[in-house]
Amino acid sequence: MPELPDVETFKRYLDATSLHQRIVGVDVRNAYVLKDVSARKLAQQLKGRRFESSRRHGKNLFVRADHAIWLRLHFGMTGFLRYFKNEEKAQQPASAKATAGRHARVVFVFEKDHRLAFDDQRMFGEIGLVKDVDQFLKKRGLGPDALHVDLAQFKNILTKHRGPVKSILLNQKLIAGIGNIYADEILFRACIHPATQTSLLKEKAVAKLFPATRYILKKAIESKADADRVPKSWLLPRRGRGGKCPRCARELQSATIGGRTTWFCPHCQKRL
């Protein structure tokens, strides 16, 4: 599932390819991904406008159209963006054919036939329109963005909320943007067992967890959220049955925490 680093990568991709071009059409190929807006209204609101800027908060990407309205994109489990000149070019190489055609749910058509497709194979993503981003975030009850929360806020969240530390990191109403994969990576870097209760975390552990969160998210963004580009010292390339800890070479273990499959090293991340 796309997490904060993935969505930040999508934001930068959109900024580099799709800003300041006049929108001449909106091709809704599957209205299932539309939330609180019809295909007709989406086209009416965007046609003739230009995407002028973008803003990310947690796992949501907002794109402002001519200072009038914001397009909201949430990528669900399999969503991503693809920019291309036309359908024929998007289908090359062959591996791109399915994503440019069969799984493109909404295509924004710009002048000179450039296009931006919202691809989403499993269709858990969402596209909508928002008048005020801050009001939307408040209404949804989303917490501060994981890259914008400061140390005092971070400590306050861990102090006030009880439960396994991984569950707290995953709670979007407390901290927005961290998902399953990067929560595991953050806790591995901080040498904290994911099932550790927040009430048992000492000040020293919290002091390690905060910079670990910043480091992992920023490094993942630098790697364009690509598992093949992240450091070899990370868990990500080794997640799965038979995977070995990059520190001690012992076998990784898995457990279900907060309803999510969690990978960790029981030797390097001892449970309190």
For residue range 28-48, what is the model confidence (pLDDT) as tens digits? 999 999 999 999 999 999 999
The answer to whether residue 97 is catalytic is no
pLDDT of residue 1: 81
Q: Scan for tokens 């929560």, then name that residue.
A: 183
User: 4-140 is classed in which CATH architecture?
Assistant: Alpha-Beta Barrel (3.20)
For the chain, where do the domains classified as CATH 1.10.8.50 start and end?
Answer: 151-264
Given the residues 3, 8, 126, 185, select the one marked as catalytic: 3
Q: Which of 3.40.50.1100, 1.10.357.10, 1.10.10.10, 1.10.8.50 would CATH assign to domain 151-264?
A: 1.10.8.50
The answer to whether residue 115 is catalytic is no
Given the residues 5, 8, 11, 59, select the one marked as catalytic: 59
Question: How many degrees, rounded to 5, is the angle at CA 77 between CA 246 and CA 46?
Answer: 135
pLDDT, tens digit only, all 272 positions of the chain: 899 999 999 999 999 999 999 999 999 999 999 999 999 999 999 999 999 999 999 999 999 999 889 999 999 999 999 999 875 554 443 333 333 568 999 999 999 999 999 999 999 999 999 999 999 999 999 999 999 999 999 999 999 999 999 999 999 999 999 999 999 999 999 999 999 999 999 999 999 999 999 999 999 999 999 999 999 999 999 999 999 999 999 999 999 999 999 999 999 999 88
pLDDT of residue 145: 98
The answer to whether residue 270 is catalytic is no
Helix ranges restricted to H, the chain: 4-17, 39-46, 87-90, 97-100, 133-140, 151-160, 165-170, 180-189, 203-222
The rounded distance, in Å, linking the Cα atoms of 75 and 123 is 9
The rounded distance, in Å, linking the Cα atoms of 66 and 53 is 9
pLDDT of residue 71: 98
Given the residues 22, 49, 238, 260, select the one marked as catalytic: 260
Cβ contact 227:237 at 8 Å: yes
Among 175, 179, 250, 186, which residue's Cα sits nearest to residue 215? 186
Helix (H, G, I), strand (E, B) or coil at 141: coil
The answer to whether residue 251 is catalytic is no
For the chain, where do the domains classified as CATH 3.20.190.10 start and end?
Answer: 4-140
* CA-to-CA separations, 265 to 97, 105, 130, 206, in angstroms, rounded: 39, 39, 42, 19
pLDDT of residue 92: 41
The rounded distance, in Å, linking the Cα atoms of 103 and 1 is 16
Q: pTM here?
A: 0.93
pLDDT of residue 91: 42
CB atoms closer than 10 angstroms to residue 262: 22
